[in-house]
Amino acid sequence: MADVAEKAGVSRALVSIIFRNQAGAGRETRERVLRVADEIGYRPDSAARLLARGRSRTLGVMFAVHQTFHTDLITGIYPEAERLGYDVLLSGSTQGRSEAKAVEALLSHRCEAVILLGPDAQPGYLGELGQRTVTVSVSRRVPQAHVDFVHSAEGKGVRQAMDHLVELGHRRIVHIDGGRGPGSAERRRAYRAAMRRHGLEDRARVIPGHHTEESGVETGWLLLAERDSGRPLPTAVLAGNDRCAMGLLMSLTRAGIEVPRDLSVVGYDDSHLSHLMPIGLTTVRQDAVLMAEHAVRFAVERLENGELQPREAVLDPKLVVRGTSGPAPAE
């Protein structure tokens, strides 16, 4: 700022006034100062200015790098944060970078609140984090932790998917579990409950898995190996999420299994990749934009109204029927 003032022949205080867009400088002076600033590459350090006032007005977002649904959530977070006057800083977790390390990086950059997308952390860690800073957990609910929660009604989504498959005549319906992934326990319970409700409890089968394409591929190989040993293929599979469903489709189609003629597949999330495939994926849609907006508003409202207690938003999912589900094959 001093360099701009010297080259433009004005005081540093006047440069500050101009960059704060306040009255006190004539049009020609303002234009000259801005031109000089552009020539020497000066940009006001808004972060430093906010920190001087004791605020960063920055929301930290922790996400899993390989989760496509997290990309959809981030796409919704940016415009809502900007609308409310906040910046967003991202920090990713990977196989070699823990969620805790990703979160600590956000806090070290003075983020005022953290939004966790599908956290896999232990309840104790979430509770401790909620005491340190304003925290919002998206897609995972841990009731005893002092954090805000935004998630879909997992049970309702699974019921819609299962009712759809049963109406199509499916009876041998397998569920690929999502392991410790967000929403997995609720989806697993809802699957078992739906099988009981439809009188199919004795046919219920949960295959251990994860929210990854590799898990879907491995399940496909397992089902094909069982078929070769005399065990019939299921007529439908409810995957833990879209990524798992896509991996399953890859292994099945490579083996000559026609979807949905021979076997129907349903995913969960309705991530942006689910409708970019040659055959659109039938899946349970979570409204990523609405979830993102709730998460940002929860964080901002608690920052600006410190007395607010953590809250919970439960959003309704919706089954989206595309090309991977059809009538059950004749037995």
Q: What is the pLDDT of residues 169-197, one digit of tens each?
A: 999 999 999 998 889 999 999 999 999 99
d(CA 115, CA 303): 13
Using left for φ > 0, alpha for ψ between -120 and 50, and beta otherwise, residue 110 falls in left
* The two three-digit tokens of residue 170, written as one number: 């499916």
CA distances from 1 to 16, 35, 50, 55 (A): 8, 13, 16, 21
pLDDT of the residue at 49: 53
Rounded to two decimals, the pTM is: 0.80
Q: pLDDT tens digits, the chain, 331 residues: what are they? A: 788 888 888 888 887 777 766 777 788 888 888 888 888 877 765 555 555 555 789 999 999 998 989 999 999 999 999 999 999 999 999 989 999 999 999 999 999 999 999 998 888 999 999 999 999 999 988 888 889 999 999 999 999 999 999 999 999 999 999 998 889 999 999 999 999 999 999 999 999 999 999 999 999 999 999 999 999 999 999 999 999 999 999 999 999 999 999 999 999 999 888 887 778 999 999 999 999 999 999 999 999 987 788 899 999 999 999 999 999 998 7
To 5 degrees, how large is the angle CA 134–CA 135–CA 140?
165
Give SS3 for 186.
Answer: helix
First and final CA of the chain: distance in angstroms? 79
Instruction: Say what the pLDDT of residue 15 is.
Output: 77
Residue 169: CB atoms within 10 Å: 15
